[in-house]
Amino acid sequence: MPPFLWEQHCCLPLQPGARIADLARYPLGSYLSVNIGYSAQTTEDSMQLARQFRADALADGRFRLVHSISDIGDPDVIALAFDLEDSGPLGGNLDNAELFYELGLRSLLPTYNRANQAGCGCLDTDDTGLTAYGRDLVRKLNEVGIFVDGSHCSRRSGLDLAKHTQVPMIYSHSNFAALWDHPRNITDEQAKACAATGGVIGLNGVGIFLGHNGVDEKAARIEAMADHVEYGVELVGIEHIGVGSDYSFDAEDFNEMLRSDPASYPEAYTKWGPLQWVPPEDLLGLSEVPGLDEVLTRRGFSPSDRAALFGGNFARVAEQVWRD
């Protein structure tokens, strides 16, 4: 198991009753970025979730809320910060980015799958990229110290993010379209543009984005993640690849949403059956299947390579982007 895991995106149920204790399935010493909203949440919804998650984390005792990069890396606690999967919870007011930052927000992506005030999403057929508001959003996130995140954005929007950011951008949880042609996966051009900013691409463990969504394909999903690691390292260099598994502790709720809202989630999401994920135990080799660290070791990645992939790369860009 790697000595340090930086998990750039995972999801609890987006409701106050979510169990923060479930995050302890990740080992002590990890850093977790936990989602607090996407296009369905209002400003108050996401702020309320952030406040509740913070209170629950402090009461639990196994977590440390992240204010600066120095809060990460203690082997006795799990470091915790938040992300938004859409700019909608800002309510059209860019100054709200400051308020979310104080609540622990450290990553924000402008659009979740579909076009909004900031730009286009990965499921839009008419891709016009970022809007003027979206470009202003990039500048504001740079100023505040929040990662500009291209996951779920359209291809042109992703390229626009790389063009307009003044600091490294990221793809928190995106795989490579060259290996599996899904609209949520990113092109080589997007990956290279991200790397040119100094950024990092966090690879996810979602079955439909890996091409292995069967219930009995746990090991195949790990091997596919390793394939994406190898491809990304060859394409942009090891210093630009990380992990953002997108593990959903709200899997049942999310799959029900896929079933009940086909207008928002087309066949590219639904034709594979209920979504399957790589959970923390499988990611880290704590279950019956070899974990990603073991598979990468078998494929010839050195301890220093794996340290960069599992945490060092995202930590490096956080030092460049975060304000504190």
As to burial, measured by CB atoms within 10 angstroms (0-12 exposed, 13-18 middle, 19+ buried), residue 263 is exposed
Which pTM does this prediction carry?
A: 0.97
Looking at the predicted structure, is the pLDDT value of residue 138 above 80? Answer: yes
Mean pLDDT of 266-280: 92
CA gap 293, 309 in Å, rounded: 10
pLDDT band at 263 (very low <50, low <70, confident <90, very high): confident
Amino acid at 84: L
Looking at the predicted structure, is the pLDDT value of residue 257 above 90? Answer: no
pLDDT at 142: 98
Looking at the predicted structure, is the pLDDT value of residue 2 above 80? Answer: no
Name the percent of the chain lying above pLDDT 90: 89
Looking at the predicted structure, is the pLDDT value of residue 94 above 90? Answer: yes
Buried b (16+ CB within 10 A) or exposed e, 50-86: bebbbebbeeeeebbbbeebebbbeeebbbbbbbbbb
Please state which of the ranges 12-21, 84-93, 157-166, 247-256 shows the lowest mean pLDDT.
Answer: 247-256
Pick from 148, 186, 141, 154: which is nearest to 169 by CA?
148
Name the percent of the chain lying above pLDDT 70: 99
pLDDT at 1: 64
pLDDT band at 88 (very low <50, low <70, confident <90, very high): very high
Mean pLDDT of 75-81: 98
Pick from 188, 123, 199: which is nearest to 166 by CA?
199
Looking at the predicted structure, is the pLDDT value of residue 3 above 80? Answer: no
Mean pLDDT of 137-143: 98
**Over the stretch 181-234, which tens digit does the pLDDT of each residue have?**
999 999 999 999 999 999 999 999 999 999 999 999 999 999 999 999 999 999
pLDDT at 287: 87
Q: Which domains are assigned to the chain?
A: 6-321 (3.20.20.140)
Mean pLDDT of 261-281: 89
pLDDT band at 240 (very low <50, low <70, confident <90, very high): very high
The chain-wide mean pLDDT, for the chain, equals 96
How many other C-beta atoms can be found within 10 angstroms of the C-beta atom of residue 304?
10
